[in-house]
Amino acid sequence: MTRHEPGQLMKKGMSREAITAELNKARDEDVGWISGQSWGLVYHAGEDVDEIIREAFQLFAHGNGLDPRAFPSLKKFETEVVAKTATLLNGGSDAVGTMTSGGSESLLMAVKSSRDQARDLRPHIKEPEMIIPQSAHPALDKAAHYLGVKTVRTPLGSDYRADLDAVRKAINENTILLVGSAPAYPHGVVDPIEGLGELALEKRINLHVDACLGGFVLPFLERLGYQVPVFDFRVPGVTSMSADLHKYGYSAKGASAIIYRNPDQRRYQFFVVTDWPGGLFGSSTVTGTRPGGPIAAAWAVLNYLGEEGYTRLAKEVMETTRVLQEGIISTGKLEILGDPVMSVFSVASSYIDIYALADTMAEKGWQLGRQQNPPALHLIVTPPHTRIRNTFLADLQDSLHRVEGSDPEACEGIAAMYAMMGTMCHQTDLKQFAIDYLDKTYQLEDKKSSKR
Ligand SMILES: *Cc1c(COP(=O)(O)O)cnc(C)c1O
């Protein structure tokens, strides 16, 4: 057999068996998400749910949600997923929305609809601004950057939640949008949505609540009797919300929902070209072709789990979160930042170098998120963690002993790149470093080695 040149098509295609073998071999290199080694990235609800997802993908891998007349199936699935999500978030009878490829696209749509609405209704605003707390997801910076909206980041309070006074002070005549998170990714705390809602109403600006993480957990925690601050459309000023089906919705990647209180705002999300020779072109979201698999899978999983399934999973995940947090606090060397409401939290230390702890845990196979300002580890607890929680705590205890005497200030003020590249002490130009990293990462393995 001739050597496989990864940058070229093979002269003759590989056999199906060989493909299967290569796919499985490649997958074995990935983080062990089924066994709970990653604390984020994958939200796995069990083999039965996976079977449902695989079936939906098999049946709808070729489906294209771009044309609802050709694919009434996907239109049905999408509208039902959106309606169910809106109901969960107490959207009221007018609430509408669309499915998107993920949280980033949902946020992009929230910013786009707000920008175009402001262009239409408040045309005197030439340089629109949006105000987002320090903890809000960077997908919002990305959206603002793509759309020519200025982002104003406001500081957090000592509880890591948005500081309402700072938000109030940042509002000016160009402000078109406020954002709160439920919860915010870094510390798992819910911003004061009611206070933000009052500000939004008073100043007549939109308020988006980013419930990408919490949208399919918080409603069930309320049913279970947990203390959850009001975070959804029950707050009068909230105009839109995002919730990720591919996170705690437990569906496959490529599925999120953007929900609007009012159909008027959704109209500003849509994009139309009327004079193209190819015909009248209308597109509801960023993507043109819209993959059917994620839409069908989200519909299937929502219906398979139902209220009972989501409540059971929320309960399990919260119980594991409690065990983990108690174990972490009982070490006497670690603390949980803020008052996380659900199964997402961060761990800091004033005794040891928290990144050294992460390195030692990584040697034991645990992939923990690394945060900055302040330095902390990040955990998103999912069902696979129930089985391994005691092993994890034992490994944590052992790792703590091994890093005893390390300097808690070692990396102070230096970035730990978000979800990508571990600790980077002593880097000066972080932006260039990160761009170099991305540039190098998306190269063929062969090329990388020949250049070195
Ligand atoms: C994950 C996340 C996003 C971005 O979603 P993607 O699906 O990764 O694009 C936005 N906001 C919050 C709070 C998130 O947790």
- Write the residue with the smallest CA distance to atom 6 of ligand 1: 103
Q: How far is the CA of 105 from the centre of ligand 1 (A)?
A: 9
- Whichever domain contains 238, its CATH number is 3.40.640.10
Average pLDDT, whole number, for the chain? 93
Residues 298 and 371 in one domain: no
Angle at 298 between CA 106 and CA 309, to 5 degrees: 115
Looking at 124-138, 169-183, 215-229, 435-449, which range is the least confident one? 435-449
CA atoms within 13 A on the CB side of 194: 4
Residues 226 and 363 in one domain: no
Q: Where a domain ends, among 242, 273, 302?
A: 302
Q: Are 184 and 135 in contact (CB under 8 A)?
A: yes
Q: Are 297 and 53 in contact (CB under 8 A)?
A: yes
Structurally, the chain folds into a number of domains equal to 2
Does the structure show a pLDDT above 60 at 3? yes
pLDDT tens track for 291-311: 999 999 999 999 999 999 999
Residues 131 and 18 in one domain: no
pLDDT tens track for 371-426: 999 999 999 999 999 999 999 999 999 999 999 988 887 764 444 443 344 445 55
Tell me the residue range of the domain where 420 lies.
14-43+349-441
pLDDT band for 6, please (50, 70, 90 cuts).
Answer: confident
Residues 18 and 72 in one domain: no
- Write the residue with the smallest CA distance to atom 10 of ligand 1: 103
Residues 31 and 68 in one domain: no
pLDDT band for 218, please (50, 70, 90 cuts).
Answer: very high
Q: How far is the CA of 164 from the centre of ligand 1 (A)?
A: 23
Residues 169 and 120 in one domain: yes
Q: Say whether pTM exceeds 0.85.
A: yes
pLDDT tens track for 95-140: 999 999 999 999 999 999 999 999 999 999 999 999 999 999 999 9
Which pLDDT does position 194 carry in this prediction? 98
Residues 100 and 238 in one domain: yes
- Write the residue with the smallest CA distance to atom 8 of ligand 1: 103
Residues 253 and 178 in one domain: yes
pLDDT tens track for 13-51: 999 999 999 999 999 999 889 888 889 899 999 999 999
